[in-house]
Amino acid sequence: MLSVIFGKKSDHPLADIKSAQALLENLPKNDAYKSLMELTDLVESVTEQYDFKIDHQFAVLRMIDEAALPYARKLSREYFTPFEINKFQENRLWSLLVNYYRHSSNAYLDVFNRFCNADKGSSTIRIQVPLLTARGIYALICKLKFISARYGQVDKDIWANLALLYKHAEQLQYLDTQVKLYPVMPGKTSVKCEMGGLMVWYDSGLSTLSPLYIHLVERIVANYCSDIDIRPEVDRDSRLCFNLSSPVEPTRINMDATTHPALRFICMPALQGRMEELMKILKKNIVPDGLALGGNYEAEVVRNAVQHLLTYLVAPPVRRNARRMANVTLNVVNGFDQVVGHSNPAQYNLGSPASWVTEEISVGGFSSALPPGSDGVGIGSLLGIQPEGVSHWGVAVVRRLLRDEANQMHAGAEILANNVACVNLSFNGSGPGYEQTALWLYPKQGELSGGTQLLLMKADTFSSTQSLKVQLDNKNYLLIPSGLKEQGLDYDLAKFKVIEQETDTESVI
């Protein structure tokens, strides 16, 4: 293929620095998509060019990668956006970016392997090996990010390559050597810093995050990776471990488990405090100038990402209810309006719900493979659920997505209520016509209301200062707001104190 484009290897246009520079100068600079596509081809062409001396191969690869950085960042901002993009554009961006990082990570690993094999020119780049290794890890982080954005299976070779890079840095004692990763990036980093940030970010629960928050959590952790340490011995600060001899994804520490020399332990004792300090600033609606997020994001969005990290650091998620294998057929609809409509079908002209079959189920949730036509289902989607043979509807929220090796997407959902009622809310003290539709969540079996009630309302309609009135089962209730429990994609999950209103007396229920 390359011989058709470039002719003989001796005539390769990247064999000369000046001709390589000319290629880069002729890029269509106003077309980021086309430029990155051409740069991906150049990265591929420089890989495994064994007639190039290793120092020349690394120099050209650096030039291409540095030229690609602004285009990759621009397109990444378009992909990891708070705003909805159409499916065609999303697929187009994802395919281009994951392809670039696949080729760039392969290219850095190829130069690294040539150095380890002492190929011609290796001594010339010895001083640059800390940068080579750090860039290799960074390219793998970016590749992992785009795989995770589609909730895909991670190739075991990624963990094997990360272990290879880390062991080399450890053996040659450059784990902590400070390098400027890219000329335009602020500050310096190290192999240990990049590796530690990757491990903490990956372990934080990416399958529970939307693509936007997968990106933001990675960027926030990267800003604070100097607060993450990797040690050969386990201690009370150890949180994760990574096996250098049998590399797989990082695992949580079991203090009673037997340790062995190939294990490396990730510690982050200061990270919680740093996140709490950052949260205080974000609560003032300020995003610190020095926080490099790869784009401009509203303080509220960044605050949500920091809160996810704080929750992870304070109390890693555990399953509260044991699930059992069960094939339960559910009628499922997606979105607040659809759930409201199917809970009160007499007022709506509705389509047929989708049919899901559970794989596991518990009191608190279920998992299911997504049937065809479920493209609109994502992290945070509100689902209406109706088990086969049951007359009423319940509600659940998608909390986790994972794609299996056969490319089948699976969803894990938390059940908020097994039974809901569609109600009309009126503002207390307002005249007729001031109404909105909401969902009244009946407590699950065994749960006590405690004088409070959860309501699902349309997004951005909850007010902490506005009491509401509702009629249900021929009874009138006054709802006094207690707080917003969760703000979803198209809903507010709000908590109210409930007072039953009667002719002569009022009683808290």
Average pLDDT over residues 181-209: 95
Tokens of 290: 């020095």
Average pLDDT over residues 495-506: 74
Q: Which of 152-156, 175-179, 363-367, 432-436 has the lowest mean pLDDT?
A: 432-436
DSSP single-letter state for residue 504: S
Convert 129-169 into a string of H (helix), E (strand) and C (coil): HHHHHHHHHHHHHHHHHHHHHCCCCCCHHHHHHHHHHHHHH
pLDDT at 203: 95
> What does the alpha-carbon distance between residue 378 and residue 411 come to, in Å, rounded to a whole number?
9
Q: pLDDT exceeding 90 applies to what percent of the chain?
A: 71
> What does the alpha-carbon distance between residue 386 and residue 332 come to, in Å, rounded to a whole number?
7
Convert 344-363 into a string of H (helix), E (strand) and C (coil): CHHHCCCCCCEEEEEEEECC
- At 484, which helix (H) or strand (E)? strand 475-487
Q: Is 48 left (phi over 0), alpha (psi -120 to 50) or beta?
A: left
- With cut-offs at 50, 70 and 90, classify the pLDDT of residue 428: low
What value does the CA radius of gyration of the chain take, rounded to a whole number of Å? 27
pLDDT at 446: 64
Give Cα 461 distance to the centre of its chain. Answer: 27
pLDDT at 6: 42
- With cut-offs at 50, 70 and 90, classify the pLDDT of residue 317: low
C-beta neighbour count of 142 within 10 angstroms:
20
**3-state secondary structure at position 487:** strand
Q: pLDDT exceeding 70 applies to what percent of the chain?
A: 91
C-beta neighbour count of 194 within 10 angstroms:
26
Q: Is residue 445 scored above 80 in pLDDT?
A: no
* pLDDT (tens digit per residue) in 318-358: 555 556 778 899 999 999 999 999 988 666 567 789 999 99
Q: Which amino acid is at 414?
A: E
Tokens of 182: 């890219």
> What does the alpha-carbon distance between residue 196 and residue 201 come to, in Å, rounded to a whole number?
9
Tokens of 487: 């703000």
How much is the mean pLDDT over the chain? 89
- With cut-offs at 50, 70 and 90, classify the pLDDT of residue 507: very low
pLDDT at 1: 37
**3-state secondary structure at position 110:** helix
* 494: CB partners within 8 A, 6+ apart: 454, 455, 456, 457, 462, 481, 483, 484, 485
pLDDT at 52: 87
In the numeric block, the tokens 């281009």 are attached to: 96
Which residue spans within 176-326 are E strands per DSSP? 229-231, 238-243, 251-252, 263-267, 324-325
Q: Is residue 120 scored above 80 in pLDDT?
A: yes
User: Per DSSP, what are the bridge partners of residue 266?
Assistant: 230, 240
Interhelix angle 17-25/54-79, rounded to 10 degrees, is 10
Q: Is residue 181 scored above 90 in pLDDT?
A: yes
Q: Which has the higher per-residue pLDDT, 433 or 25?
A: 25
Q: Are 100 and 68 contacting, i.e. CB atoms less than 8 angstroms apart?
A: yes
Average pLDDT over residues 98-107: 97
Q: Are 498 and 449 contacting, i.e. CB atoms less than 8 angstroms apart?
A: yes
Q: Which has the higher per-residue pLDDT, 100 or 18?
A: 100
Tokens of 360: 């596991």
Q: Which has the higher per-residue pLDDT, 113 or 320?
A: 113
* 251: CB partners within 8 A, 6+ apart: 240, 241, 242
Q: Are 498 and 423 contacting, i.e. CB atoms less than 8 angstroms apart?
A: no
Average pLDDT over residues 262-282: 96
Tokens of 78: 């378009």
Q: Which has the higher per-residue pLDDT, 52 or 315?
A: 52
pLDDT at 505: 45
